[in-house]
A = this chain, B = another copy of it.
Amino acid sequence: MSNGNRKILGVIGGLGPFASAYFYDLINLHTQANSDQDHLDLVISSRASTPDRTGFIRGENPESPGPVMAEEAKKLQAYGAGVLAITCNTAHYFYNEVAAAVQVPVLNMIALTAQKAAHTGCKKLGLLATSGTVGTGLYQKTCADHGIECMAPDAAGQQALMEIIYDEIKAGRPADVEKFNALTDSLLNAGCQKFILGCTELSLLKKAGHTGAQAIDTMEVLAEAAITACGGTPIGFDWPPCGV
C-alpha cells in the first residue's frame, strides 16, 4: 500500500479546505521526485463540515470538533495511513483526543514549530493565530519550554487578525495585506525576532508572497516533518536563523 518502505500520510483536513489543499501542494512541491511514483501516497479527509474549532473553545458553539476529528483519525488509520497530520493549528487543542484514538503517530504542529524556532535561535516570537489558539495558551507554553517568549497582538490587533482569517480568507475573499502588515510590524517593533503564522489560513498569505522573511510558517514545518516521517526526502525548505 505504499512506495517501498514508505508510509501513507493521513491528513485530518478541511479545517479549512483552502489551507489543506495548500498543504497537499507543499507535500508535492517539497518531496524529491522525478515522476508521479516518486511522490508520497496520501489520504486526505477534507471534512469541511467539522464544527468550528475557535467557536467551541470560546464557548460560542456547543458541538466539539474533538470526537469528529478522532473518528476521522480512526478512519484514516483503517485506510492504511501510517502517520497522521492535522492541518489546523486551533484543532491541536484536541490533539490528545485524536492521538489517543489511534495507534499510529500523529504529528504535532505546535510542538514541531516550537522546536524549529528554538533550532533557529529565536528567543522572542510573535504569535499570529485565531483567538481560539491564543486562548488555549498552547503555543505560549510549548515555546516557553524551549526558552522562547511568545507574544500575541493586543485586543484590537487580535480582532483585526480574526477578520483577516474568518471574514476574508476562510470566506474566499482577498485578505487585507496592509492590515496584516500593520500587525506584524507592531510585533517586530515590540522586539519579536520572527512571528509564527499560527493559523494555516495565514500560510496562504505566505504562499501569495505577503508575509516577508520573518514568518515561520507552521504548515511548512508540518509538511517537512510529514515528508520525513513518511520516508520521503524533503527539499527546498529554508529556515534562516534568528538575528541576535
Residues of A at under 8 Å CB distance from B?
2-3, 14-18, 20-21, 24-25, 27-29, 33-52, 75, 79-80, 166, 170-172
Contact = CB atoms under 8 A, between A and B. Distances in A.
- Copy count, this protein chain: 2
6 contacts: A14-B39, A37-B48, A40-B46, A42-B45, A43-B45, A43-B46
A67 to B, nearest CB: 13
A52 B37 CA distance: 8
Contact of A15 (B27, B36, B51): B36
A44 B44 contact: yes
Contacts of A24: 17, 20-21, 24, 44, 46
Closest A-B pairs by Cβ, 4 of them: A39-B48, A16-B36, A42-B46, A21-B24
Given A17-B39, A41-B47, A42-B44, A29 B170 contact: no
Given A17-B27, A20-B24, A35-B170, 10 more contacts: A14-B39, A17-B42, A24-B44, A36-B50, A37-B48, A39-B46, A39-B49, A41-B48, A44-B46, A45-B79
Contacts of A52: 35-37
B48 A170 contact: no
